[in-house]
């Protein structure tokens, strides 16, 4: 219903833990938006204007807005929330404990132990996440290897090198150019990763390790 709000931060509420909220004034109306602690820190300071990407969750007689500083986080939240047995607050807790790239890589690599780092995620729930989301993450529009359209069919853009394609994916996951360059350097020192899929796989694994 609401794609995003752009307004002035009037309050950032950090207590009680697990119920972090942002109060955003938009055209004289104050919206209470639940978010993660890590996201709350990225929105800016009180009095500043910010954009919040939102999802409205309607449950019984209550409607709750959940918001994120990037569209990428909002879309991953929606994917996590779609898993049977995972409520919006559990999905939010996952994003508070793990980065978008860590969650994505963990699902793609069947790494349930990494997913269990988030409170409320046991082995059964983590396994269910992998089962229900692995194919969705593989085909996620925010995890693209660049494609172009020609004559109504989708073909790989031959004008872009494998490294540029891999860089595009990692940038979409929020990594900086410096981090990507480090990962690519490590990839070159650890075998042949010429294909974009291999380079992305290695880079995500290495980056998730050094960011722990």
Does a structural domain hold residue 144? no
pTM exceeds 0.95 for this model: no
Domain membership flag for residue 33:
yes
pLDDT tens-digit map of 42-92 = 888 899 999 999 999 987 778 899 999 888 888 899 999 999 889 888 998
Number of domains in the chain: 3
Are 55 and 88 members of one domain? no
The answer on 101 and 82 residing in a single domain is: yes
Please tell me the predicted confidence (pLDDT) of residue 158: 31
Q: At what angle do helices 123-138 and 100-108 cross, to 10 degrees?
A: 90
pLDDT tens across 18-49, in order?
788 999 999 999 999 999 887 887 888 899 99
Statement to judge: residues 55 and 94 lie in one domain: no
Looking at the fold, whether 62 and 79 belong to one and the same domain comes out as no
**How many CA atoms lie less than 13 Å away from 126 in the CB half-sphere?**
19
Sole residue written with tokens 């390790």: 209
Q: Are residues 169 and 206 both part of a single domain?
A: yes
Q: Are residues 87 and 115 in the same domain?
A: yes
């Amino acid at each position: 219903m609401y794609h995003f709000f752009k307004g002035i931060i009037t309050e950032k509420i950090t207590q009680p833990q697990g119920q972090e909220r942002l109060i955003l004034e938009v055209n004289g109306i104050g919206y209470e938006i639940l978010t993660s602690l890590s996201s709350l820190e990225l929105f800016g300071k009180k009095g500043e204007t910010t954009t919040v990407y939102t999802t409205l969750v309607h449950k019984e007689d209550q409607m709750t807005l959940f918001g994120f500083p990037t569209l990428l986080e909002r879309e991953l939240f929606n994917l996590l929330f779609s898993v049977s047995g995972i409520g919006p607050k559990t999905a939010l807790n996952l994003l508070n404990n793990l980065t978008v790239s860590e969650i994505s890589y963990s699902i793609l690599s069947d790494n349930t132990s990494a997913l269990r780092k988030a409170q409320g995620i046991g082995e059964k729930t983590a396994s269910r996440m992998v089962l229900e989301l692995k194919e969705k993450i593989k085909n996620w529009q925010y995890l693209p290897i660049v494609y172009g359209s020609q004559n109504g069919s989708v073909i790989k853009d031959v004008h872009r090198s494998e490294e540029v394609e891999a860089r595009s994916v990692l940038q979409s996951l929020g990594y900086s150019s410096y981090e990507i360059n480090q990962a690519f350097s490590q990839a070159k020192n650890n075998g042949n990763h010429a294909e974009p899929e291999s380079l992305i796989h290695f880079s995500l694994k290495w980056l998730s390790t050094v960011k722990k």
